[in-house]
Structure 1
Amino acid sequence: MTAWARGLFEDLRTLRVLVIHPPGEDRNVLEEQLRRLGCPLRAIWPFPSQVPGDADAVFFHVGPEARSTGHWSAADTSATLIALSDYENPTALKMLLDTQAHGVITKPYRSTGILSTLVLARAAARYQQRLQNKVVKLEEAIKARRQIERAVRVLVEAHRLTENEAYEQIRTRATELRATVGEISAMVIDAHEAMEKLGLSKPAKIAR
């Protein structure tokens, strides 16, 4: 067995799996195969109103119960979501799209295919999370850049500095205080706004 395969099965053995499905033969098939994989497993019914927060992977039944309990979405949880669908009609497909499930298994459920669906769904969920983290970091970088630019304009207006001189002032203070340029920029803006509120500073015309 390769190192990659060993890592895969070790991950599965610690993966907390939740099955949300009515009791019966279909659920039994899922539970039996997941137990063979060594996953810590539990099953619940009726359908909960929110995605449970104590599971790493959730197999959930897509039916009227899911629609009546509210909107489920992969965006609301870090768990891998795998939909269990009875039919492939427009209503079921719309619900699948709404949940943004990472994988789907359709009836009749069989022991074959569950492992591959789980592995691919886990990979898709991790990729989605990496993309989301990149988006968050990019948004934070854009926000920090705008804040720095605004702080520079404050110093230019208040102290008749050039933009380069104002930025160097911020960068120097950041080095001295062991802070980031963004943090010092926020301090400059907060101080400027406080002085304005007290009527102790001439308001600068700053684009927000």
Structure 2
Amino acid sequence: MSRLRLKDLRDLSVIVVHPPDADGKALMDQLKRIGCRAELMWPPAKALPSGTDVVFAGVFFESQGALASMLRKSEKPGPTVIGVVNYENPAMIELVLDINAFAVISKPVRTFGMLTNLVVARSNWMQAADFHDKISKLEKKISGQKKIAKAKSILMEMHKISEREAYGTIRAQAMGKRISVEEMAVAIINANELLSSRPDDV
């Protein structure tokens, strides 16, 4: 599993989505002390700059729609979002959850705690990204196994052969055509559907 090192923070591209007030300046100053490549943006743009790693997002009711829209349009898997709030109540918590924040810092912004929040949020983001990647690979593997099982079933019924013989046929055909077993299985399924369709269905 990926692990964040403190020296990796210097390679992060950080966007601070916040008005250029005292809190916005404090955020920028501390990020520059940490060594991040930071840029202040206000109001929220239609999209984040390409390659954005982290977003410190000022959470305001009047700009929440634009902020959420900008983050949804970001490159996948999306940046690490840290909310910046000036008070705490159920409505504000809902706004923070809406932008999928990994951490929250309060205003007035202080230097203490920013580094910890950045490291914890980025580490949790990396862990979530690893889990997402593993889940995607498992889903792809399961999908491939289902296609192979269906192709085997088609061959077993069509040629009255065993499951082992059906898989051997698929594998041999795949090797001969220099494609994967899954791709060969899809070809068999598609061919069977084409041959099974009635003239009226075409």
CA separation in 1, counterparts of 2:62 and 2:52? 20
TM-score scaled by length of structure 1: 0.84
CA separation in 2, counterparts of 1:168 and 1:147? 15
Q: C-alpha offsets along residues 2-23 of structure 1, whole Å, 9 cap, x if unaligned?
A: xx99x522x2222111000011
Runs of 4+ that moved beyond 6 A: none
Q: How does 1:61-80 map to 2 (within 5 A)?
A: 61-69=58-66, 70-71=68-69, 72=71, 77-80=77-80
CA separation in 2, counterparts of 1:12 and 1:139? 32
CA apart distance, 1:119? 0.8
Say yes or no: does 1:16 pair with 2:32.
no
Partner SS state of residue 129, structure 2: helix
CA separation in 1, counterparts of 2:89 and 2:10? 35
* Structure 1: segments with no counterpart, 5+ residues: 200-208
TM-score scaled by length of structure 2: 0.86
Q: Which residue of the partner structure matches residue 58 of structure 1? A: 55
CA apart distance, 1:168? 1.5
CA apart distance, 1:50? 4.5
Amino acid of the structure 2 residue aligned with 1:122 = R
CA apart distance, 1:52? 4.6
- Checking the alignment, whether the CA contact within 8 Å between 1:47 and 1:65 is kept in structure 2 is no
Q: Relative to 1, partners in 2 of residues 1:51 and 1:101: Cα closer, same or farther, differing over 3 Å? A: farther
Aligned residues: 194
CA separation in 2, counterparts of 1:143 and 1:28? 50
Q: Which residue of the partner structure matches residue 28 of structure 1? A: 25
Q: How does 1:186-201 map to 2 (within 5 A)?
A: 186-197=186-197
CA separation in 1, counterparts of 2:187 and 2:33? 57
- Checking the alignment, whether the CA contact within 8 Å between 1:21 and 1:61 is kept in structure 2 is yes
Amino acid of the structure 2 residue aligned with 1:41 = A
Does 97-106 or 167-176 show the bigger shift? 167-176
Does 178-187 or 122-131 show the bigger shift? 178-187
- Checking the alignment, whether the CA contact within 8 Å between 2:77 and 2:129 is kept in structure 1 is no
CA separation in 1, counterparts of 2:98 and 2:121? 16
CA-based RMSD: 2.3
CA separation in 2, counterparts of 1:75 and 1:35? 24
Q: C-alpha offsets along residues 132-172 of structure 1, whole Å, 9 cap, x if unaligned?
A: 01111111111111101110111122212222211111122
CA apart distance, 1:98? 1.9
Q: State the identity as a percent.
A: 35
* Structure 2: segments with no counterpart, 5+ residues: none
